[in-house]
Amino acid sequence: MLQLPLILCGLVLLLTWYLIGRHNENYWKARGVKFYSKNKVIGPSWDYLFTKGAMFEKFGELYKTYRNEPVVAIGQILTPSLFVIDAKNVQHVLSSDFQSFNHRGLDSVEGDQLTESITLLNGPKWKLMRKTMTPLFTSSKLKNMYYIMDKTAQDFVAHLKSDPKLWKGNFFESAMLYCNAAVCAAIFGIGEQSTFESPFLKFAKDVSISNFKNNIKFTLFNLAPKLFRMLGVKVFKEHEDFFVGAIGQVIKKREEENVKRHDFADLCIELQKNGTLKDQTTGYELEPTTGLLSAQAFFFFTAGVEPAADGIFATFALLSQHPEILQKVHQEIDEYFEKYDGKITYDVVCDMEYVDKVLSESLRMFPPIGYLSRQCVQDTVLPVGNVKVAKGTKLFTPIYEIHHDPKYYPDPEVFDPERFSKERRPNDDLYMPFGMGNRTCIGARYSKLQLLAAIVHVLRSFTLKPIPESQQKKVTFLRHVLGVRIGNVKVELIPRDKK
């Protein structure tokens, strides 16, 4: 008796799948836009879910296949969606026409406080929160905060020295540990003890997007946000009590201590003392509750741990395979340590020009995030191809593929730090390891300093070489819905015999 209902349900699902695919194809055909018909319902997400590799690689296949098109349409259930290929159109979406494309393409989830972070907020709420958070990342604030990163980097080196097993282990995991510790220190402050003794390190790993459960949730959230909400699925709800409670305790303790540490907790206290947040232009208001501020702290974990660890690991992987460049890095680091008697301040690390070029080139070759998403909030037109974009359309823009396009970066697969010298520096409009336009990662400069601190201190004490079995000709990447993570390269640390 059960067979007939199951067969009928299967037929209804197949018919629905067919009709959605046909609707998607006809929608874009009527607009004269090429359509990716391999899977008409969920497009490259199907390839991501059922084949190996990262999501950005699936978009990369589209980039190569439709290279001469301004855009290519893709299935995203019933949401009209475009993968933007032409660089001028990419700039238009991410920067020039911000009024039409200021929506991130994802929204916070009602009843899930930790999704109320600046990453997922949109509209006037995002604008007010961005304005409120920006002071934490000014040059003067970063200069005051740098001691936190420097202390964490020194603790990281001590941690590595204490356990030789880590020298030939999975260095990405060690980089994750450092970034976890650095973010925890920036949010909760540091004392005399090692930053690697923080009780929040396990928590930071539990909420990482590369976590299998979170990866699947994020993919479904991206594909069908309305269905996601209808089903009442939460993203980070299970961590809410712990994290909001922890932030509340930190704020309370800091108020009692009445000590300035130039970290996120200081900002929270200042905001709560000042009362209601208000945008003078729109009149929009927000209460700086502990829950809302906890969501912003949570942004540090989702944006400042995995992507930063990917950046450090990519830099070390590249340096391990280019000893002549590594030697120059060592030389500059040693000169500055000797010149400043080992005291590496904000000004000192910012003055290391060659290390900065190496990091910039590493982030070009392996940007932490492989692509970006936006959603159209008003009918508009993309300039190249005269592509009409209706309100509600979702757009995906490449990062990795633009960074590897010989049209913009000659010999893109060559690791060449001098590409970022003053004489040769590429077009900044196309270099976007932290995004582009008004929604560029607010913590980009903080993140870069965090990476520099680790690179400088670790390479002062260690040199690098690739583990032989990982010296493949072609780099492969691990499955990740957003990130660019090298999967087949391992790095060995070797203590340096410094003079």
pLDDT score at 1: 59
pLDDT score at 244: 86
- Under the banding of pLDDT at 50, 70 and 90, the label for residue 79 is very high
pLDDT score at 99: 95
Tens digit of each residue's pLDDT (9 = 90 or more) over 298-313: 888 778 888 999 999 9
pLDDT score at 351: 97
Residue 113 and residue 252: Cα distance in Å, rounded? 20
Mean pLDDT is lowest, of 206-215, 218-227, 300-309, for 206-215
Tens digit of each residue's pLDDT (9 = 90 or more) over 444-497: 999 999 999 999 999 999 999 988 766 666 889 998 899 999 988 999 999 998
Alpha carbon 198 to its chain's center? 23
| Statement: residue 33 has pLDDT above 60 | yes
Give the phi and the psi of residue 258 in degrees, each rounded to 5.
55, 45
- Under the banding of pLDDT at 50, 70 and 90, the label for residue 30 is very high
pLDDT score at 196: 67
> Span 236-264, mean pLDDT?
83
> Span 9-27, mean pLDDT?
91
> Span 241-262, mean pLDDT?
84
Q: What residues does each domain of the chain span?
A: 86-495
pLDDT score at 200: 65
pLDDT score at 371: 97
| Statement: residue 341 has pLDDT above 90 | yes
Residue 110: C-alpha distances to residues 115, 127, 206, 228, 234 (Å): 8, 19, 21, 11, 9
Q: Which one, of 373, 415, 409, 414, lies nearest residue 393 by Cα?
A: 373
Say if residue 441 carries a ligand binding annotation.
Answer: yes
Residue with tokens 């993140």: 447
Q: Which one, of 304, 377, 292, lies nearest residue 122 by Cα?
A: 377
Residue 165: CB atoms within 10 A of its CB come to: 6
pLDDT, the chain, mean: 89
pLDDT score at 193: 54
Question: Residue 416 is which amino acid?
Answer: D
pLDDT score at 80: 96
> Span 349-361, mean pLDDT?
97
Residue pair 87/432 in contact by the 8 Å Cβ criterion: no
Collapse the DSSP code of 22 into the 3-class scheme (helix H, G, I; strand E, B; otherwise coil) and give the result. helix
CB contact burial 259-278 (16+ within 10 A = b; e otherwise): eebbbbbbbbbebeeeeebe
Residue 418 and residue 381: Cα distance in Å, rounded? 38
> Span 209-229, mean pLDDT?
72
Residue 172: C-alpha distances to residues 158, 348, 487 (Å): 17, 26, 10
| Statement: residue 57 has pLDDT above 80 | yes
Which token pair is 267? 């900002």
Residue 489 and residue 468: Cα distance in Å, rounded? 9
Q: Which one, of 223, 219, 217, lies nearest residue 24 by Cα?
A: 223
| Statement: residue 45 has pLDDT above 70 | yes
pLDDT score at 483: 92
pLDDT score at 448: 95
| Statement: residue 191 has pLDDT above 70 | no
Q: Which one, of 299, 56, 315, lies nearest residue 175 by Cα?
A: 315
Q: Is the CATH code 1.10.630.10 the one for domain 86-495?
A: yes
- Under the banding of pLDDT at 50, 70 and 90, the label for residue 267 is confident
pLDDT score at 166: 93
